[in-house]
Amino acid sequence: MAAIADGNLTLVDWTKLHNPDGKPAKVAKMLSKTDQILDDVVHVEANGTTHHVTTVETKLPEVYWRQFNQGIPDSKGTHAQVEEGIGMMETRSRVDKRLVRIGGNKEALMMRAAQQKVSAMRNEMASTLFYGNSAATAAKFMGFAPRYSSLSAGNAANIIDAGGTSSDNTSIWLVAWGDDSVFCTFPKGSVAGLEMEDLGEVAVDVYNAAGTATTGRMQAYEQVWNWDAGLVVADWRQVARICNIDVSDLVGLTGKQTPIGATSYTTILKKMLTAYYRIENKDGVRLAFYMNKTAHEGLSSIAMEKSTSVLRIEEGFSQFGTPRTFTTFMGIPIRECDSIINAEERITA
C-alpha cells in the first residue's frame, strides 16, 4: 500500500519530466547501475512453474580391463536431482488520468513513469544474481556468492583466494554460460526477462504519507512489471570466484596486487589465469569475467602499463554502432558489474 506521493507520479514529478515546451525531457539516469551481466545471461525455460529440477552426475560407473574368458561385474553411475527456485519480482506504475490529459502523450508519460522502476528492477536482478540468498529471503533465488562461500567446501577448488584480509574486499567472477552449465530459468509456459502488462484505466485507492489509511480514490492508468527468474549452476566447475581482493591494493597496484613480474604470487592476473583453468569445459559456452568499476580500473591500469598479450584494451562497436573500448583477458571479455560490492567480508574456510 504505497502512498500516492511515494509510489505514483505527481504533478511535480510530471513537471520534472517535461521541458518548458511540454515535450518529454531527457532524464539523466543518475541511479542506474552498469550491470553487463544481464546482457550475457543464457535463459532456459524451467521444467516447472515455480522451480527447475536439474539432474546431476554424482558418480561415474566403474569400467574394467578384462582378458579372454573373464567376466566383469555390473556397474552403474549415480545421479542426484537438485531443485532450484524461481523468484518473482514485481512493481507497478500509475499515472493519474488527469495528468495524462495535461501531458497529452499517454504512452510517453507512462514510460517515463516506469523508467525508474525498471532501472531499479535491473539493479535488483543483477544484485540478486551475485548475492541473492533464498535461505535468508525466501522470495529470492540463490545467487553465486552463497554457493561459492567457503574455502573448505566441495567446490573450494573454484574459489580462489586473492589474499585480502580486511573488510574492503571485492570479487571477480568467471562464468561459463550455457544450456548445460550455468543459466537462468523462467517459469514454464511464460516468457524470459522483463514483462509489462498494461492494465489500462483503473480505480485505485490513494493512501496517506504513512500508507496506513486511505484518503480517497482516483482514476489512473496502471502498468504492472514482472521479472521472474532463477539461477541454475548445473556444473559448479563452470564458475570460478576470485575472492578476497583487497580493493585499496588493486587500485594502487601495491601490496598483494603488485602487477605481474614482481615476486608476489597473489597478483590479480595470475589469479585470473588460475580461474580460467578451473573452468572445466570451455567449448560451446559463453565465457565472461565480471567485476565492478574499481576492479576494472585496476586491470585497465595494468593493461596500459604492462606489455602483455593476455590482457588487452581493444576497440569494438557497441550494439548502437558507437566505437568503444573494452578489456579482454586471454580473449575473454571483461564486463563491468556495479552490483559487485567493495565491502565483502573475507571468505575463509
pLDDT tens-place string over residues 240-298: 999 999 988 888 777 777 765 544 445 788 899 999 999 999 999 999 999 999 998 88
pLDDT, position 250: 83
Pick from 295, 289, 308, 280: nearest CA to 344? 295
pLDDT, position 158: 97
More confident residue, 309 or 66: 66
Beta bridge partners of 313: 327
Backbone angles phi, psi at 196, to 5 degrees: -120, 135
pLDDT, position 78: 74
Judge contact between 168 and 194, C-beta under 8 A. Answer: no
What average pLDDT does range 126-152 have in this prediction? 95
How far CA 150 is from CA of 43, 84, 131, 135, in Å, comes to: 28, 20, 14, 16
* Residue that the C-alpha cell 559487485 belongs to: 340
What angle separates helix 268-278 from helix 293-305, to the nearest 10 degrees? 110
| Structural domain spans, the chain | 4-53+83-336
DSSP 106-161: HHHHHHHHHHHHHHHHHHHHHHHHHH--TTTSTTSPP-HHHHS--TTSTTGGGEEE
Rg (CA), the chain: 25
Alpha-helical runs (H) found in the chain: 4-7, 11-16, 97-103, 106-131, 144-147, 247-252, 268-278, 293-305
More confident residue, 150 or 59: 150
Q: Quote the CA–CA distance of 54 and 83 in Å, as a whole number.
A: 6
Is residue 302 helix, strand or coil? helix
pLDDT, position 79: 64
Q: Give me the percent of the chain exceeding a pLDDT of 70.
A: 80
Backbone angles phi, psi at 77, to 5 degrees: -85, 170
Beta bridge partners of 64: none
More confident residue, 54 or 170: 170
Backbone angles phi, psi at 249, to 5 degrees: -65, -40
pLDDT, position 314: 66
What average pLDDT does range 174-183 have in this prediction? 94
pLDDT band, very low/low/confident/very high, at 235 (cuts 50, 70, 90): very high
Q: What's the pTM?
A: 0.80
Q: Quote the CA–CA distance of 235 and 147 in Å, as a whole number.
A: 12
What average pLDDT does range 120-130 have in this prediction? 94
What average pLDDT does range 168-192 have in this prediction? 92
Using the predicted structure, report yes or no on whether residue 189 has a pLDDT greater than 70: yes
What average pLDDT does range 21-41 have in this prediction? 62
pLDDT digits (tens, 9 = 90+) for 64-104: 888 777 877 888 877 677 789 999 999 988 888 888 887 67
Cα angle 336, 270, 297 (rounded to 5 degrees) comes to: 30
Average pLDDT along the chain: 81
pLDDT, position 33: 67
- Half-sphere exposure at residue 25, Cβ-oriented, CA atoms within 13 angstroms: 13
Residues 6+ apart with CB under 8 A from 278: 157, 158, 160, 174, 237, 240
